[in-house]
Structure 1
Amino acid sequence: MQDINIKITDRNGETHELVAPTDMAMNLMEVIRSYELAEEGTIGICGGMAMCASCQCYILSDHKLPEISADEEAMLAEAFYVEDNSRLGCQIQITSELDGLEVELAPES
């Protein structure tokens, strides 16, 4: 396994270039939390169960991501600020295929 590079634009518009491990079974929301890129209590409120949309982000790069699950689709249908490229960070597992991924955090709802 290897570490990958990810670019994340936070809710203040600042872009962070991060290194994320692929050997810890982390998802994108957990990486964002571990780097403290969102205020405490504003991301991953449901603990990564696709039940709150607080980790919604916009996928800016053209990486092939896993299909959206029914739970994720239902949550995005109820979320604010949803765009065509919206995904829940908790549903995106960090894998070596995501090297170079670029995302922007959706505004807090």
Structure 2
Amino acid sequence: MPKMTFIEQDGTRRDVEAPIGLSVLEIAHRNDVDLEGACEGSLACSTCHVVVEPEWYDVLTDASEDEEDMLDLAFGLTKTSRLGCQIIMTEELDGLTVRLPAGSRNMMGG
């Protein structure tokens, strides 16, 4: 089974199993990684914002216009930022590494 790594805000690396077809957000939740998904993957928030390690960014499919619009609202946006709900695991992404940004801004005021 493919694996992926989450780098938590304190620098802790968490290597987890990453079933093909699941999103990074779903994988995070299965493994108790602290990645919020307030809108549950419906592209209505930016709380599942992750920073993809540069060597992996180009392997991902391009962000949709809707995802780009939501990323514009993400806190701590970087050149390799993506929304975790939009990154779907494939064989090619075995070993994918993403960082959790230092904070997130929930549009719901939380």
Q: Which one of the candidate residues 10, 15, 22 is aligned to 1:17? A: 15
Is 1:37 the counterpart of 2:33 in the alignment? yes
Q: State the Cα distance separating 1:61 from its structure 2 match.
A: 4.7
Contact 2:52/2:80, CA 8 A, preserved across alignment: yes
- Which 4+ runs in 1 deviate beyond 6 A? none
Contact 2:54/2:80, CA 8 A, preserved across alignment: no
Greater strand proportion:
1
Deviations 1:44-98 (A, max 9, x none): 1100112211111111152310111011100011121000010000000011110
Q: CA RMSD in A?
A: 1.3
Is 1:50 the counterpart of 2:19 in the alignment? no
Q: State the distance in 1 between where 2:31 and 2:43 align.
A: 21
Q: State the distance in 1 between where 2:75 and 2:68 align.
A: 13
Report the counterpart of residue 89 of structure 1 in structure 2.
Answer: 84
The residue type equivalent to 1:30 in the other structure is E
Between the two proteins, the alignment pairs up a number of residues equal to 102
Q: Which one of the candidate residues 57, 65, 71 is aligned to 2:66? A: 71
Q: Which one of the candidate residues 5, 22, 29 is aligned to 1:26? A: 22
- The SS at the match of 2:68 is helix
- Runs (5+) with no aligned partner, structure 1: none
Contact 1:61/1:101, CA 8 A, preserved across alignment: no
- Runs (5+) with no aligned partner, structure 2: 105-110
TM-score (norm 2): 0.86
Is 1:62 the counterpart of 2:55 in the alignment? yes
